[in-house]
Amino acid sequence: MVKLRLQRTGSKNSPHYRIVVADSRSPRDGRFIEIVGGYHPINKANQVEVHEEKVVSWLKKGAQPTNTVKNIFKKTGVWKKFKG
């Protein structure tokens, strides 16, 4: 099964996350298929960047987002585009 999930990058006490498309059997920071966005929780603005066309195409192909990624998509409006 293909999942949309977060991959941690950055240093200790300064996390940065990539939103990636990966096989559910691969480890969290391991192999992935494609990078579709990023998330920086330390910034006050909670900067999120999402490539909407890529995300919607993967969701249409049957990729399942994790709960956290799904909440990020809802905040950015990508989930509404997929459902609508």
Instruction: For residue 82, give Cα distances in angstroms to 29, 63, 77.
Output: 26, 12, 9
pLDDT in the model for residue 20: 96
What's the number of domains the chain is made of? Answer: 1
State the residue range of the domain holding 43. Answer: 2-66
- What pLDDT sits at residue 29? 85
Residue among 42, 46, 80, 79 nearest 64 (CA): 79
User: Alpha carbon 28 to chain centroid distance?
Assistant: 12
* Inside any domain, residue 59: yes
Q: What is the CATH number of the domain that holds 41?
A: 3.30.1320.10
In tens, the pLDDT along 3-33 reads 999 999 999 999 999 999 999 999 888 899 9
pLDDT for 84:
75
